[in-house]
Structure 1
Amino acid sequence: MEEIIAQYSNQIIIFLTVAVIFLLLLNIISQIRISSITKKYNRLVEGVDEASLEDLIFEYIDEVKDMKKEAENIKSICDDLDSKLKFAVQKVGFVRYNAFNDVGSDLSFSVALLDANLNGFVISSLFGRNECNTYAKPIFNGKSNYTLSDEEIQAIEIAKKQGVSKSLGSI
């Protein structure tokens, strides 16, 4: 029996050495993980004296619920503003021109003021040598029941290409 033990003693020593090194590596890995978890735990309970961690977590949950309600309220306000904004002037077109041949300097103009639904009005001021006349014509869906001059049509077309392109509700 002693011969067998002597024969395998070197192999047993090598096996036990490998096993000890393996266990030592496992211990080092475990210590690193425990250290990481300890740091996270200390950060979690930082500033907590008498209150329990459970109470602190429930307090944070209540705060999150309150913030969620506030966010829903803000979204509702934004939706309301978005619906009202559709009726505000968003699109403006402006054209200067000479209305009469005997007057220079492009002193006549047409301004189109439209909302998101292309409703609004166009104002034209015709400057002449002896007088200045101003006209306003309503616009519904980008068109008017009144005859429009080329410059008024041009101002409306410029206005159609402008304005708010993104609604607040999609932000």
Structure 2
Amino acid sequence: MSLSTTTVALIALGALAVAVLGGVFSVIGHLRLRRMRRAYERAFAGTDGDALVSTVARYVEETAGLRADIAAAQRRLTALSGDVARSLRHVAVVRYDAFGDMGGRLSFSAAILDDAGDGLVISAIHGRTETRTYAKGVRGGSSDQPLSPEEEQAIRFALRSVSAGPAAGSPPASEPRMVDAHG
């Protein structure tokens, strides 16, 4: 079996092309391996070659500490939310004339409640010669003692801030709501 010179030349040219491609891939592989080796040496540089391992271990410890801090902060936030709900922070004041012959709306009823509607209502009735002050306990938005219409109105306004929360343009819950009642 004899091959023609053209066929032999084509086979030789193909072998040369494969050899050149193999050489190019070999050089590329060698360069990549050298780059990876340098990165590996940098990562493990230091005493005993364990810089990467100790760095990762330190980050794992720091992450565990941060997670513990976050859990503690969440517990404190939950406790503070309960404290805020029990604080007397919903206030409404109703001013009125207790007696028809006096003006200036110097009498008032003030409701001071927490988120559950518990707290107190204070009323001051201003007369010509004296001012009388009354305080009544409030549980769940009502009292076991009879309430005047102005006291009921003050409680209603204070409870409105509990259910609605601060609306845009309205005073925050910590500021009293002032209402003038005509009476």
Q: After the TM superposition, which parts of structure 1 deviate over 3 Å for at least 4 consecutive aligned residues?
A: 2-6, 48-51
Query: Residue 97 of structure 1 corresponds to which residue in structure 2?
Result: 96
Partners in 1 of 2:91 and 2:52 — Cα distance?
Answer: 59
Query: Residue 81 of structure 2 corresponds to which residue in structure 1?
Result: 82
Deviation at 1:99, TM superposition (A): 1.1
Alignment check: 8 A CA contact 1:102 1:129 kept: no
Q: Which moves more between the two structures, 127-136 or 80-89? A: 80-89
Partners in 2 of 1:4 and 1:52 — Cα distance?
Answer: 59
Partners in 2 of 1:163 and 1:49 — Cα distance?
Answer: 62
Partners in 2 of 1:122 and 1:115 — Cα distance?
Answer: 12
Query: Residue 154 of structure 1 corresponds to which residue in structure 2?
Result: 153
Letter of the aligned partner of 2:126 in structure 1? F
Partners in 1 of 2:46 and 2:139 — Cα distance?
Answer: 67
Q: What's the CA shift string for 1:10-34, capped at 9, x where partnerless? A: xx7xxx6xx97xx79xx6xx97xx7
SS at 2:86 equivalent:
coil
Partners in 2 of 1:163 and 1:83 — Cα distance?
Answer: 14
Aligned-residue RMSD, C-alpha: 3.5
TM-score (norm 2): 0.64
Partners in 1 of 2:150 and 2:8 — Cα distance?
Answer: 112
Query: Residue 53 of structure 1 corresponds to which residue in structure 2?
Result: 52
Alignment check: 8 A CA contact 1:123 1:137 kept: yes
The answer to whether 1:120 aligns with 2:119 is yes
Partners in 1 of 2:93 and 2:144 — Cα distance?
Answer: 20
Q: What's the CA shift string for 1:63-91, capped at 9, x where partnerless? A: 11111112212222222222222221121
Letter of the aligned partner of 1:114 in structure 2? L
Q: Which moves more between the two structures, 66-75 or 106-115? A: 66-75
Query: Residue 178 of structure 2 corresponds to which residue in structure 1?
Result: none
Letter of the aligned partner of 1:122 in structure 2? V
Partners in 2 of 1:147 and 1:65 — Cα distance?
Answer: 58
Query: Residue 108 of structure 1 corresponds to which residue in structure 2?
Result: 107
Deviation at 1:132, TM superposition (A): 0.7
Partners in 1 of 2:8 and 2:126 — Cα distance?
Answer: 121
Query: Residue 64 of structure 1 corresponds to which residue in structure 2?
Result: 63
Query: Residue 133 of structure 1 corresponds to which residue in structure 2?
Result: 132
Name the count of aligned residue pairs. Answer: 149
Percent identity, please: 29
TM-score (norm 1): 0.68
SS at 1:86 equivalent:
helix
For structure 1, the 5+ residue unaligned runs are 166-171
Letter of the aligned partner of 1:73 in structure 2? A
